[in-house]
Structure 1
């Protein structure tokens, strides 16, 4: 009886501690989709009784009031507007969207190095915020720091500064960005470089390119990027341990992935997939949209290139090709467009500056989603079983669409190859071939078939880390080894030396015996 009471009291203690933790959340990315993911997790933690302090862009700060949620505002826009006038740095084009469309023309190695460099710029911008410096000068204490994992390794200094458990939330699935710090396998034979155009099904040549790309990315990271993050770290956290030490202290890595939309890969115990955690309960559509979708006898094609890409920045020839193809379809088209009208707008096309994407995709008359291939968009469309035509532009979108095409629920059309003919062919193929819809529905069933909701899974593991003081028992032993030990290069070297020594010794023995035998034969012949 006493033992049972002791266990009960211990459980109550754990629950009380988990419910009253002080948490600092940092989701710093410029993209609204990244901010949305952070808000979802941090607001849920606040609703569960945790005291949450969130560093968030002012324009993306949640409007929902919660006494347990305290925002610290940061702003990038004013700096970017001034910077784009005074520099030729392509990162600071007055139209970020234009620059992103141009990024579709970059080579893979250029993309890898420039993406890492962009991360350094955003990290510097973050620490230059007055509100961030004021936080560091305050006497606040935190039990846990939750970081957006996005090219911001200097942020690990917050965890050390507050002596807090470190949790990272990756806005994408497992990649070299996440696997290196968690000691997770990074096998280029079936794990594509996240900025590549490959799925897990690669030809020999693709595996060759993939291996070289990952190797280049890792070397560039350790020799060039990480030392620069260490400079930022030491500047803002004087006396901090080196970044090479803090880099491996992450207690938990939450991944925005799921086997329904991502290739299955091995994961160490403290890497948890929570893909789909941002999905909301379907809401009623505005009356005009509801009527537009309900009355579409031949269905509706939904077209959106996400929040960072503007239609106005697409070159005129490609935009006209899209409009002409849409005008020839029997389906209606719902197009996310930043203006009230578009030159040459067909009668079957309806525009919207902002559209409730999740609720639209849930409407039964949606036949096809034309998208940029962003991971959130793919998760949302598969949740509702809608096939895809993807036009990837930057980041992980190429890889995402390669996976979509390999899994058979969509068609990839590269932006550089976009013409009236290729666009029409892609739409016709997906609309008229039932296999795309069938595969989308099959993937949707896989996504829905889970023992608990992804957001609940995220909450469980975050609070698990709190209950178990950082959960060091989940850390893989690979983190205690050097890279050459992980690859068993030291063992292979010894084995090679032993085998070489054996071969050399055998050769010497045979050589000595042979010489002795030959000398003996010569003496016999002389007699």
Structure 2
């Protein structure tokens, strides 16, 4: 009996042995770093060793099972005049982002990361070993080279939902007839015109990706990883084979939103993973402010990427005046201390503990740009929202929130203060929005496993099964012409053409015989 017991014990110990995981979040976008820190935090809490490549290094990093690769100099990519202000977007009427621009943004950020001094030193160390790569995904698959270098499974973390751009990497992309682009404002069901728009958008995206972006990515991939593998006596696999070799994709989407397309087995939702439970307590001044707000609190934030301080100064003054006319307390996340004539009921904060504010029972509504993190938090805590979308996926997120009945939409314009006040009064006087918002947390929380433990389980599962290849869709191995039965259509066309040709020849021959007989008679 001793041998089976010892063998079982050995298997248990092997099963719980910690993994070495490279977590890479290289984009200079503050909100994405929150997602990356959450991924690292949950993996460390489960006993795994994490190497965290980040643009925003932790100031007080854990002493155990954790190290950082600092690429903070990448912030220069979006500093100063590199990114437009809200004032510029407003004055130039930039209604949506270009998919081409975002592809180039992701590609250039990857180039900067892979050529960073700290990263190059890290990659050239032959003693580095990892059991899994978990990295951010936005419009470039260049980081899949990490999985090639370390010969381990590749896991992507996508900061948005089940969009065709990511689903195409592990399955057949959903039809544009019901799966709008993440930059689109269209919501299902789509009209004929909208379906044509979505088809054309997809054609444009695929054309630029195939003939421009991906060619340059291939060159970067070969120049970075080729020499390193050559030193180790290995051959660099083809880039197109590598980018479609992911074991799993995690999506930062939640379970309480309708209109989601079907997804393959290796696509997992972890929306809300960044929300700590229980939420951190508010600092004393904010706690006292919200506790003593008899008429409730309105929270206003335009996110971290495009900040409130970049609004036109005239518009800021009008917003302050409008907020001052409300009975409610207004907490405004504003990144500048130079504001003057701030009304007594308005509290300016440079950086807000957003989940803690939204969790407070006195919160009335959330005025938001509609970023996915903010959208998830609003649903998680059951707070009605007024969306003011600016760029990227914000338009889609706000439209979904309106469709789900817990939000209103106000367009970004020079008339924002007036239009926003109208929306605020509608929401204050109509309980439907609040009631609907309070229904959604039950749907969001009613899942078999919370997002943090789910992420840990699936990363460990991929590690245990050496890539979870059995979860992958067979569609990736079926060429497009076979999926569309173009070969069958070609055969049918060829047979039909042959039959028509033969019949026409027979008819002509028969007609010729008849004509000959008439002439001879």
Task: Give the structure-2-normalised TM-score.
Answer: 0.90
Q: How far 1:499 moved relative to its partner? A: 4.5
- Superposition map of 1:427-466 within 5 A: 427-466=424-463
Answer yes or no: is the 8 Å Cα contact 1:188–1:214 preserved in 2: yes
Please state whether the residue corresponding to 1:346 is helix, strand or coil: coil
Q: Match for residue 373 of structure 1? A: 370
CA separation of 1:299 and 1:206: change in aligned 2, threshold 3 A: same
Count matched residues. 510
Provide the TM-score with structure 1 as the length reference. 0.89
In 2, Cα distance between the equivalents of 1:191 and 1:294? 43
Which region of structure 1 is more displaced relative to structure 2, 254-263 or 353-362? 254-263
Alignment of 1:371-520 (within 5 A): 371-416=368-413, 418-502=415-499, 515=511
CA displacement at 1:164 relative to structure 2:
1.2
- State the Cα distance separating 1:106 from its structure 2 match: 3.3
Q: What is the alpha-carbon distance in structure 1 between the residues aligned to residue 449 and residue 3 of structure 2?
A: 31
Structure 2 gap ranges (5+): 227-234
Task: Report Cα offsets for 1:216-263 as digits up to 9, x if no partner.
Answer: 112211211111111111111115223211111111111111231363
SS in 1 for 2:22: strand
Deviation at 1:60, TM superposition (A): 3.6
Please tell me whether residue 244 in structure 1 is matched to residue 240 in structure 2. Answer: yes
Query: Partner of 2:12 in structure 1?
Result: 12
Alignment match of 2:170 (pick from 155, 169, 182): 182
Contact in 1 for aligned 2:46/2:456 (Cα 8 Å): no
Range 203-212 or range 482-491, more displaced: 482-491
Q: Establish whether residue 129 from structure 1 lines up as the match of residue 125 from structure 2.
A: no
**Greater alpha carbon shift after TM alignment, 192-201 vs 319-328:** 319-328
Q: Structure 1 residues 400 and 6, CA, compared in 2 at 3 Å: closer, same or farther?
A: farther
Whether 1:260 and 2:256 are equivalent positions in the alignment is yes
1:378-407 per-position Cα deviation (integer Å, ceiling 9, x unaligned): 100111111111111121111111111111
CA distance in 2: counterparts of 1:350 and 1:375, whole angstroms: 25
Structure 2 residue 349 is matched with structure 1 residue 352 = yes
In the alignment, the residues of structure 1 paired with residue 315 and residue 328 of structure 2 have an alpha-carbon distance, to the nearest angstrom, of: 20
- Whether the aligned pair in 2 keeps the contact of 1:28 and 1:148 (CA below 8 Å) is yes
Distance 2:71 2:86 in 1: 23
The separation in 1 between residues aligned to 2:384 and 2:94, in whole angstroms, is 28
2-structure distance, mates of 1:176, 1:209? 15
Q: Following TM superposition, by how much is the alpha carbon of 1:132 offset from its aligned partner in structure 2, in angstroms?
A: 0.2
**Cα deviations across residues 36-92 of structure 1 (Å, max 9, x unaligned)?**
1111112221222222211122x4426241411111111226744xxxxxxxxxx66
1:63 is matched with 60
CA distance in 1, matches of 2:507, 2:291: 89
Report the equivalent of 2:229: none
**Cα distance in 2, alignment partners of residues 417 and 499 from structure 1:** 63
Match of 1:47 among 41, 45, 48: 45
Structure 2 counterpart of 1:86: none
Q: Judging changes above 3 Å, is the alpha-carbon distance between structure 1 residues 428 and 133 closer, same or farther for their aligned structure 2 residues?
A: same
Aligned residue in 2 for 1:85: none
Contact 1:173 1:262 in 2 (8 A): no
- Indicate the SS of the match to 1:470: coil
**Structure 2 counterpart of 1:163:** 151
Q: Tell me the secondary structure at the aligned position of residue 194 of structure 2.
A: helix
Alpha-carbon offset, residue 101 of structure 1: 5.6
| Contact residue 31 and residue 305 of structure 2 kept, 8 A | no
* Distance in structure 2 (CA, Å) of the matches to 1:383 and 1:320: 32
1:487–1:102 Cα change, 3 Å: farther
1:214 and 2:202 correspond: yes
Q: Tell me the distance in 2 between the aligned counterparts of 1:488 and 1:300.
A: 59
Once the 2 structures are TM-superposed, how far is the Cα of residue 463 of structure 1 from its aligned partner? 0.6
Contact 1:23/1:50 (8 A) holds in 2 = yes
Show the counterpart of 1:271: 267
CA distance in 1, matches of 2:281, 2:109: 37
The verdict on how the C-alpha distance between 1:427 and 1:491 changes in structure 2, with shifts beyond 3 A counting, is farther
- 1:358–1:61 CA distance, 2 compared to 1 (3 A): same
The 8 Å contact of residues 258 and 404 in structure 2, kept in 1 or not, is answered as no
Residues 1:279 and 1:7: Cα distance change in structure 2 (over 3 Å) = farther
Separation in 2 of the partners of 1:495 and 1:121?
A: 47
2:280 pairs with one of 258, 280, 283: 283
* Aligned with residue 102 of structure 2, among 110, 115, 121: 115
Q: 1:60 to 1:218 in 2, by over 3 A?
A: same
CA apart distance, 1:511:
6.8
CA distance in 2, matches of 1:449, 1:417: 41
